[in-house]
């Protein structure tokens, strides 16, 4: 995120559900969206699909899902604000 200048755009296309035994990481859509929001970005485009390009309303309804995301950096936020999983938010506040 720090590589994006103010008023610049960030494009993310990655797995966000499934792909077990395919790699080490699957990114949580909630984590990505929260991290962007907390750190001065606004979402310009958000889309979920299957690997074959079928549109999805939610990544949780299929085994393997991709996220397509474009965000604009509206302001510089320092230091980086770490997103917190909702399950633990009350505990750490």
**C-alpha to C-alpha distance for 74 and 53, rounded to whole angstroms:** 30
- Distances in Å between the Cα of 79 and the Cα atoms of 1, 15, 39 are 12, 27, 9
Q: What is the pLDDT of residues 18-28, one digit of tens each?
A: 776 666 677 88
pLDDT at residue 63, rounded to an integer: 87
Q: What is the pLDDT of residues 18-66, one digit of tens each?
A: 776 666 677 888 889 999 999 999 999 999 999 999 999 999 898 889 9
pLDDT at residue 24, rounded to an integer: 66
Report pTM: 0.82
Residues in the chain: 93
**pLDDT-wise least confident of 6-20, 64-78, 79-93:** 79-93
pLDDT at residue 92, rounded to an integer: 67
């Amino acid at each position: 995120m720090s590589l994006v200048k103010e008023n610049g755009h960030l494009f993310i296309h990655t797995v966000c559900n499934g792909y077990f035994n395919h790699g080490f990481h699957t990114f949580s859509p909630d984590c990505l969206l929260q991290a962007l929001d907390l750190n001065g970005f606004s979402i310009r485009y958000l889309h979920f699909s299957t690997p074959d390009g079928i549109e999805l309303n939610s990544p949780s309804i299929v085994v393997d899902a991709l996220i397509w995301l474009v965000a604009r950096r509206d302001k510089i936020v320092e230091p980086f604000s770490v997103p917190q999983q909702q399950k633990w938010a009350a505990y750490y506040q």
